[in-house]
Chains A and B, each alone.
Chain A
Amino acid sequence: MITAERKPLEEIIEFIRPYQRILLVGCNECVTVCAAGGRKEVGILSSLLQMTFLRQGKNLQIREHTLERQCDPEYVEELTPMMEGVEAVLSMACGCGVQEVSRRFKDKPVFPAVNTKFMGASERQGVWAERCAGCGDCLLGITGGICPIARCSKQLMNGPCGGSSGGKCEVGPEVDCAWQLIWDRLKALGMEKRFEEIIPAKDWRPARAAGPRKIIREDLAE
Chain B
Amino acid sequence: METFEPVIVAFCCHYCAYTAADMAGTLRIPYPSNVKIVRVPCTGKVDMIHLLKAFEKGADGVYVAGCLEGDCHFKNGNLRAARRVREAKKLLAAVGLEGERLEMVHLSAGMGERFAETAREMTEKIRRLGPSPIRTAKEKQVP
A interface list, Cβ under 8 A from B: 9, 40, 43-44, 47-48, 50-52, 54-55, 57, 59
Contacts and interface: CB of A to CB of B under 8 A. Distances in A.
A5 to B, nearest CB: 14
Given A51-B56, A54-B137, A54-B141, A44 B48 contact: yes
Contacts of A52: 95-96
Nearest to A49: B95
A34 to B, nearest CB: 15
Nearest to B52: A47
A51 B95 contact: yes
Contacts, number: 42
Contacts of B55: 51
A47 B49 contact: yes
Contacts of A57: 137, 140-141
A9 B97 CA distance: 14
Interface residues of B, number: 18
B141 A59 contact: yes
B134 A51 contact: yes
A7 to B, nearest CB: 12
A47 B52 CA distance: 7
B124 interface: no
Contacts of A43: 49
Interface of B is mostly: helix
Contacts of A44: 48-49, 52, 91
Interface string B91-114: 100111100000000000000000
Given A9-B94, A48-B94, A55 B134 contact: yes
B53 A47 contact: yes
Contacts of B140: 57
Contacts of A9: 94-95
Interface of A is mostly: helix
Given A44-B91, A51-B52, 11 more contacts: A40-B47, A40-B49, A44-B49, A44-B52, A47-B52, A47-B53, A48-B94, A51-B56, A51-B134, A54-B134, A55-B133
A48 B91 contact: yes
B138 interface: yes
Interface string B17-55: 000000000000000000000000000000111001101
Contacts of B141: 54, 57, 59
Contacts of A59: 141
- Which of A9, A44, A54, A59: most chain B Cβ within 10 A? A54
A50 B52 CA distance: 10
B9 to A, nearest CB: 14
Which 3 residue pairs spanning A and B have beta carbons closest together? A47-B52, A51-B95, A54-B137
A107 to B, nearest CB: 30
A190 to B, nearest CB: 41
29 contacts: A9-B94, A40-B47, A40-B48, A43-B49, A44-B48, A44-B49, A44-B52, A47-B49, A47-B52, A47-B56, A48-B52, A50-B56, A51-B52, A51-B55, A51-B56, A51-B96, A51-B97, A51-B134, A52-B95, A52-B96, A54-B56, A54-B137, A54-B141, A55-B95, A55-B96, A55-B133, A57-B137, A57-B140, A57-B141
